């Protein structure tokens, strides 16, 4: 059993879907040794969604299992659960610390007790304003935000508690179907559909190597099988995309004459803003993974999902 914490979230759901896809691919290819997915009941892999990772001593009211018991049942753990909203992590620091740091410690301790492999989902934001233009796994970390600091503290605890059985995954900013409304792609596409005013931080030239959600999930599942324990792995897209690029693409998808129908207002830079985040994915490529979805296609698929969501209401 592969245990996924935070399995009801944006990334957690995508990881579970990817595991289901991997099972079906093996089945259709006639591969008989499918124990690595620990299936049960027809064609569904056996997985558990665990949302509350804070208290190792309390039973989950739904499952009547403690975190320790779930980890004991598992063959490996993917620790996704986190307060990932930057604003919430800063505004509700106590809650965020309990989840992002204390929760991570509890999961890591359970993995150490039962000798289970741990994939810890961290963030490329941990690099902060580093000295390099393109950031690889060897770069030093200079976090600028509360959330990034919390995830970096989590990394330190994972290394200390599970020194030989962990892998740390630093994700670039994700986007795609299922994303939170607070993420910029969601905000921008929604404005493109509704019109009005879009306020952005700074001049819009700040950029990221955004990663489409399905590609990120595929990378995480890949790392269940490849990669050395005790190492860090960056997961990022190939393209460097600015805020202005996202606005322009929204106009091409929905706007009039290829231009957005909303007005853009420039506000002050966000505190802790990383102006340029170019994350190298070369290490993951050397292990056989690469992003399959280019940004233009990813935005089109995200827009299709948003429209479907609206049609349901």
Q: Which range is most confident: 15-29, 32-46, 201-215?
A: 201-215
CA-to-CA distance for 117 and 311, rounded, in angstroms?
A: 42
What residue ranges do the domains of the chain occupy?
A: 2-176+210-239+277-292
Section 68-89 average pLDDT? 86
Is the pLDDT score of 299 beyond 90?
yes
**27-41, 179-193, 217-231, 233-247: segment of lowest average pLDDT:** 27-41
Q: Which residue shows structure tokens 């301790």?
A: 109
Global model pTM greater than 0.75: yes
Burial class (CB in 10 A: 0-12, 13-18, 19+), 137: middle
Quick check: 105 and 85 in contact, CB under 8 A? Answer: no
- Per the structure block, which two tokens stand in for 4? 């996924």
Q: Indicate the pairing of strand 174-175 with strand 241-242.
A: unpaired
Distance of CA 193 to the CA centre of its chain: 26
Section 207-224 average pLDDT? 97
Is the pLDDT score of 23 beyond 80?
no
| Percent share of the chain, pLDDT over 70 | 89
Is the pLDDT score of 39 beyond 50?
no
pLDDT value of position 41:
26
Q: Which range is most confident: 124-138, 208-222, 262-276?
A: 208-222
CA triplet 15, 43, 167: central angle to 5 degrees?
30
Question: Angle, nearest 10°, between helix axes 243-254 and 184-194?
Answer: 40
Quick check: 76 and 223 in contact, CB under 8 A? Answer: no
SS3 119: strand
The pLDDT-based confidence of 165 (bands split at 50, 70, 90) is very high
CATH of 2-176+210-239+277-292, one of 3.90.1300.10, 3.40.50.10420, 3.40.50.300, 3.40.50.720: 3.40.50.720
Contacts of 32 (CB under 8 A, 6+ apart): none
């Amino acid at each position: 059993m592969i245990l996924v914490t935070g399995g009801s979230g944006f990334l957690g759901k995508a990881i579970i879907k990817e595991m289901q896809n991997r099972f079906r691919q093996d089945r259709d290819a006639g591969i008989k040794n499918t124990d690595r997915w620990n299936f049960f009941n027809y064609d569904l892999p056996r997985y558990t969604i665990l949302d509350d990772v804070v208290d190792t001593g309390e039973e989950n009211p739904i499952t009547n299992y403690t975190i320790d018991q779930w980890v004991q049942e598992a063959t490996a753990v993917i620790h996704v659960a986190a307060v990932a909203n930057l604003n919430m992590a800063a505004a509700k620091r106590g809650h965020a610390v309990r989840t992002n740091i204390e929760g991570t410690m509890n999961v890591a301790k359970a993995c150490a007790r039962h000798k289970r492999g741990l994939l810890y989902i961290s963030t490329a934001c941990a690099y902060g304003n580093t000295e390099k233009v393109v950031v690889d796994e060897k770069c030093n970390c200079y976090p600028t935000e509360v959330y990034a600091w919390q995830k970096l503290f989590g990394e330190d605890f994972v290394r200390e508690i599970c020194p030989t059985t962990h892998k740390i995954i630093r994700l670039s900013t994700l986007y795609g179907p299922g994303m939170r409304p607070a993420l910029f792609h969601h905000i921008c596409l929604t404005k493109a559909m509704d019109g009005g005013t879009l306020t952005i931080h700074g001049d819009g030239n700040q950029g990221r190597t955004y990663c489409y959600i399905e590609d990120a999930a595929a990378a995480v599942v890949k790392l269940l099988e490849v990669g050395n324990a005790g190492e860090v792995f960056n997961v990022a897209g190939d393209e460097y995309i600015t805020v202005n690029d996202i606005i322009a693409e929204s106009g091409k998808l929905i706007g009039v004459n290829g231009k957005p129908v909303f007005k853009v207002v420039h506000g002050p830079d966000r505190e802790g803003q990383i102006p340029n985040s170019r994350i190298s994915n070369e290490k993951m490529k050397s292990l056989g993974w690469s992003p399959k979805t280019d940004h233009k296609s990813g935005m089109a698929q995200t827009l299709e999902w948003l429209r479907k969501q609206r049609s349901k209401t």
